[in-house]
Amino acid sequence: MAIFQVRQVATGAILWTGGAENEQQALDAMAREAGYSDFSAIPESLRGSGTQVDRLNLG
């Protein structure tokens, strides 16, 4: 498992940081913490602003 950070592209705001197996799982985990079933359940008006997923190297 790796540590990922999800940011909103337009503002640079960090939306989520945590452990996941890959980028898609990181997006789904971020969405679940926000109350959605997965990333695809987030309204397009929010997803459309762009998200950036970075794998963090912590060592």
| Mean pLDDT per 10-residue interval, the chain, length 59 residues | 94 95 97 96 87 90
| Model confidence, pTM | 0.89
C-alpha–C-alpha distance, residues 57 and 38, integer Å? 25
Q: Please state the domain count of the chain.
A: 1
Domain residues for 30?
Answer: 2-56
Check residue 26 and give its pLDDT: 98
Under 8 Å between Cβ of 29 and 18: yes
Check residue 1 and give its pLDDT: 87
Under 8 Å between Cβ of 1 and 21: yes
Check residue 48 and give its pLDDT: 79
Check residue 28 and give its pLDDT: 97
